Amino acid sequence: MTYRAPLKEMFFVLDTLAGLEAVNRLPEFEEASRETAYSVLEEAAKFSEQVVAPLNRVGDLEPSRRQEGEVITTPGFKPAFQQFAQGGWQGIQHPQQFGGQGLPKLIATACQEMLHSANLSFALCPMLTDGAIEALLTAGSDAQKATFLPKLISGEWTGTMNLTEPQAGSDLAAVRTRAEPQGDGTYKVFGTKIFITYGEHDMAQNIVHLVLARTPNAPEGVKGISLFIVPKFLVNDDGSTGARNDVHCVSIEHKLGIKASPTAVLQFGDHGGAIGTLVGEENRGLEYMFIMMNSARFSVGMQGIAVSERAYQQAVAYARERVQSRPVDGSAREAVTIIHHPDVKRMLMTMRALTEGARAVAYVAAAASDAAHQHPDEAVRRQSQAFYEFMVPVVKGWSTELSIDVTSLGVQVHGGMGFIEETGAAQHYRDARILPIYEGTTAIQANDLVGRKTVRDGGAVAREICAQIAETEAALDRHGGATFTAVQAQLARGRAALEAVVKFVVANAKSDPNAVFAGSVPYLKLCGIVFSGWQLARAMLAADAKSAEDPSFYAAKIATALFFAEHVLSQSSAMCAAATAGDVEATYFMV
């Protein structure tokens, strides 16, 4: 099934929920008008649909392969990436100073979603490069920025993130890779890094590895980690690539999904030491890497939305064509297409509602990030940053968890044919399975939501969000009518459940941390459910006001909000109970 970017839906969310017009008024974004945004998204849709999407199935059947120490990517990937670079797509949201287009994160997020929907494996390469760019923009020296950023933003070079080691997965305190100063401003790096996405490939002239390592006499634990730039090819004074650095791919992983994306094991320093330069100050590497990680975490959340959209489109297309069984209400004597069957409708509506809700939350968060960086009022910047930071673990955790459900439903809609690889439904399911794992598992996102985003400020940001939700409830109540009242009632119950969990977390985090963290994932999922219901309720209000412009589209928005409220938001009380149930080990296990 061919992917088609849901442009009408994207434009609606950008305009109505995320506030594109307000973003356009921010300093530095004056050129990001509605017309510009629409033009950029339309071109992104053409590229994603026509160039990248056709390679998705090819990549699953002919994944990247390692040959004599080099990695050869899926046929078609290299010319597609060259088109991607030439089109300026890597630089959408990056500064014009270094060759980027300087557009808002909000617009870049929609472009990113399309690329990931088209081909999750392909889009991982520019996603990691975006993270490397963000890290260098924040912590790189002027010389490092001048050397690396123009090449990364142009797509001539790509970037990677090197954290994980065989003995150090989520626990970065266990990192052993070492960096020895050479007295000339460079370091020699020695060690092994695993799970390095696009750690070796043939699509770009150079690969810029950002590597966590320890210097001699560094403190133990995460406080002793530094960050280094270790390029595949050393860079000459004139900016050209020079000699091959001592970093080599010793193997690539054979994976359940995202098969076309080469996941490399990299060996640094087997032949005398890989030459690297320090980013920022020694022992602040984890702080700098978190910039890259937070960028990547939001992007992985967009991957979840993207693959969900792709799976939904395929399931709808199949349901409209597959003829099976007579309707249960006896309205026809002949077999009908399965989209007429009530449970198939339920599955498709679940896929659609989850995807649209998560998309709305992510786009609203992206707009907040733009305000956090560019709004002229410092108080608004602080408030927007706090909102965005609260949303990042939710976007990452919730959107990736729901992608498992949505892609699984996509297989189910196909029935037995969904279990057959030729239909392609199974690939979406397999590709999605990594999303709640990499860039910090759902539990890590939930721990972040509890510790850094809720307990640290005593629940202030969470309560402020709940207050905004209550304003939407009031608008629904003023509107009246059975449909709006039904959504208002479920949203109010969801908000109350969220407030109860926030109160529980703040009250018990210090005295009974096991009880709080045992419910952290249900808390995160509750946030995802309530925030999605909130945004869909806002969409419902806007759709009603615009209904005469496009009756069928806006009627569908209202129906989706109602479905979400009754079938998903209604689960909030159960999530509240799970989040506040207490210490799992003490209750259920005797260890």
Q: What is the pLDDT of residues 31-62, one digit of tens each?
A: 999 999 999 999 999 999 999 999 999 999 99
125 and 184 share a domain?
no
Residue 547 pLDDT greater than 70, yes or no: yes
Cα–Cα–Cα angle for 304, 306, 307, nearest 5°?
70
**Residue 304 covered by a domain:** no
Same domain, 138 and 206: no
Q: Residue 237 has what DSSP assignment?
A: T
pLDDT of residue 505 exceeding 50: yes
Q: Are residues 142 and 213 in the same domain?
A: no
For residues 510 and 576, membership in a common domain is answered with yes
Lowest mean per-residue pLDDT among 165-179, 388-402, 413-427, 440-454: 165-179
Tokens of 351: 């896929």
| Structure confidence at residue 582 (pLDDT) | 86
Q: How many helices (H) and strands (E) does the chain have?
A: 20, 12
Residues 164 and 51 in one domain: no
**114: CATH:** 1.10.540.10
Q: Is residue 381 part of a domain?
A: no
- pLDDT bracket for residue 589 (50, 70, 90): low
Q: Calculate helix-pair angle for 520-546, 378-414, nearest 10 degrees.
A: 90
pTM as predicted: 0.97
Give yes or no for a contact between 501 and 526, defined as CB atoms under 8 angstroms apart: yes
Of 256, 288, 320, the last residue of a domain is: 288
At 464, the pLDDT band (50, 70, 90 cuts) reads very high
Question: Quick check: is 234 in a domain?
Answer: yes
Residues present in the chain in total: 591
Percentage with pLDDT > 70 across the chain: 98
Q: Are residues 183 and 115 in the same domain?
A: no
Q: Is 107 within a domain?
A: yes
Q: Where is the domain boundary, 288, 315, 330?
A: 288
Cβ atoms of residues 162 and 210 within 8 Å: yes
The residues facing 122 across adjacent strands are: none
Q: Looking at the predicted structure, is the pLDDT value of residue 275 above 70?
A: yes
Both 124 and 188 in one domain: the answer is: no
Enclosing domain of residue 118: 7-64+73-154
User: Higher confidence at residue 326 or residue 383?
Assistant: 383
Judge if 93 and 195 occupy the same domain: no
Q: Supply φ then ψ for residue 234, to 5 degrees.
A: -60, 155
Structure tokens at 49: 């649909």
> Structurally, how many domains does the chain consist of?
3
Confidence of residue 412 (pLDDT cuts 50, 70, 90): very high
Task: Decide if pLDDT at 588 tops 60.
Answer: no
The span from the CA of 131 to the CA of 266, in Å, is 19
Is residue 128 located within the same domain as residue 194?
Answer: no
3-class secondary-structure state, position 470: helix
User: Would residue 300 count as lying in a domain?
Assistant: no
pLDDT score, position 591: 46
Which residue has better confidence, 2 or 404? 404
pLDDT given at position 173 = 78
* Predicted local distance difference test score (pLDDT) of residue 325: 87
pLDDT at 254: 97
- Dump pLDDT digits (tens) for 116-163: 999 999 999 999 999 999 999 999 999 999 999 999 999 999 999 999
The answer to whether residues 167 and 276 belong to one domain is yes
The answer to whether residues 134 and 173 belong to one domain is: no
Within-domain flag for 311: no
Burial 167-182 (b: 16+ CB within 10 A, else e): ebeeebeebebbbeee
317: in domain? no
pLDDT digits (tens, 9 = 90+) for 324-356: 988 888 888 899 999 999 999 999 999 999 999
Percent of the chain with pLDDT over 90: 92
> Among all chains, which residue has been given the structure tokens 């052993």?
176
CB atoms within 10 A of CB 19: 18
**Of 114, 136, 154, which marks where a domain is finished?**
154
User: Predicted confidence band at 587 (pLDDT cuts at 50, 70, 90)?
Assistant: low
**231 band by pLDDT with thresholds 50, 70 and 90:** very high
CATH number for the domain spanning 211: value is 2.40.110.20
- Residues with catalytic roles: 439
- What is the model's pLDDT at position 585? 63
pLDDT at 165 over 50: yes
Higher pLDDT, 50 or 589: 50
Is pLDDT at 408 greater than 60 in this prediction?
yes
For residue 266, the cross-strand partners are: 193, 249
221 vs 263, higher pLDDT: 263
One domain, residues 163 and 54: no
pLDDT single digits (tens) 444-462: 999 999 999 999 999 999 9
Find the mean pLDDT for residues 479-498: 98
Distance, CA of 360 to CA of 13 (rounded, Å): 6
Q: Over the chain, what is the mean pLDDT?
A: 96
**Beta carbons of 539 and 360 less than 8 angstroms apart:** yes
Instruction: Note whether residue 174 is domain-resident.
Output: yes
Residues pairing with 191 in the sheet: 268
